[in-house]
Copies of this chain bind each other. A is one copy, B any other.
């Protein structure tokens, strides 16, 4: 006796699933499934009927079930240090945009610089069966690698490469960015340029540091050790670094910073000292965080394209997943940088004296910007 395969289903319960759709459209569930997945071998007539029913019934496929059977969750994980760090929001936004465009959802987790939470982040990723994860933390923990790779989850480091890892990496073109900053300052007439670096234990901070020194040498200036200060990528670090600088017998006329938070700290310290920006001291940041445009004056800074960063990460992550033959060897991508001139950079006073009086003090008109190369 061929009992119904399925339980009678408490009757009266108009559960909305693929079966309901199939029944209404008078086709099998397989056809509905194929239609939803845009499989081209479906008779257009049937497909149309199915779509119509889906519309009418207001049916939404259950992602959980799809994930369960297909083995692909269509979720991309994102591990950041701290959401409130001004560095992250725009990056997250871009990430979301790119992911959604490709049909993925993103799972954001933050470590809050706490190793315990990092463990938990990784666990959450694995439990939700993410298809890949992008790591954007500052102090990297290693358990990550092992755990995730043991689950065969693709991994990509965004702007934070650990020593040597099997994971792929996004490479930001720090050299060019810093070079542009130095050139900009040089063109304005600055010769006494200080650099407030990040913590030199960070690989990416080192890259910026070396880029600065090299760029300086390129224009024939020997770096003055007293003007090379190690900061910590925080506002406080920027302030204390600046205080050291201002105590010097020979005070620089411009300060280039390893990130924007440092630059904001520099601005506070400079203003606290009763000096003006950019008349007395020019300041340049790095990152172009969202709030850089809201400082007073708005901060001149070097932007790295968040869109490229996010897109790159997602491309790398997806390239392994999707069978599309494109992008075979996108192992390491390079992200470009760009100088954003706002109002914290101007002609140094000493220079002003020697120039024709009709030269505008600040801001500098666009045509004065260096674009040579």
Q: Interface on A for B, CB 8 Å cutoff?
A: 58, 60-65, 67-68, 73, 82-84, 86, 88-90, 92-93, 96, 100, 105-110, 120, 123-124, 126-129, 150-151, 235, 261, 264, 267-268, 271, 290-291, 294-296
Q: Is B294's CB under 8 angstroms from A129's CB? A: no
> 15 A–B contact pairs at CB < 8 A?
A60-B127, A62-B129, A63-B129, A64-B67, A83-B89, A83-B90, A96-B108, A100-B120, A105-B107, A105-B124, A106-B108, A107-B107, A261-B294, A268-B296, A291-B294
Contacts of A235 in B (CB 8 A): 294
Contacts of A261 in B (CB 8 A): 294
- Contact A83/B62 with A105-B107, A296-B267 known, Cβ cut-off 8 Å: no
Contacts of A93 in B (CB 8 A): 82-84, 110
Contacts of A264 in B (CB 8 A): 294
**Secondary structure type dominating chain A contacts:** helix
Contacts of A100 in B (CB 8 A): 120, 124
Q: Is A63's CB under 8 angstroms from B128's CB? A: yes
Q: How far is the CB of A104 from chain B (nearest CB, A)?
A: 10
Copy number in the complex reads 2
Q: A68 contacts which of B64, B84, B90 (Cβ < 8 Å)?
A: B64
Minimal Cβ-Cβ distance residue in B for A58: B150
Q: How far is the CB of A37 from chain B (nearest CB, A)?
A: 14
CA of A88 to CA of B295, assembled, Å: 19
Contacts of A271 in B (CB 8 A): 296
CA of A150 to CA of B83, assembled, Å: 33
CA of A92 to CA of B109, assembled, Å: 11
Contacts of A108 in B (CB 8 A): 92, 96, 106, 108
Minimal Cβ-Cβ distance residue in B for A151: B60
CA of A208 to CA of B267, assembled, Å: 33
Q: How far is the CB of A28 from chain B (nearest CB, A)?
A: 21
Q: How far is the CB of A92 from chain B (nearest CB, A)?
A: 5
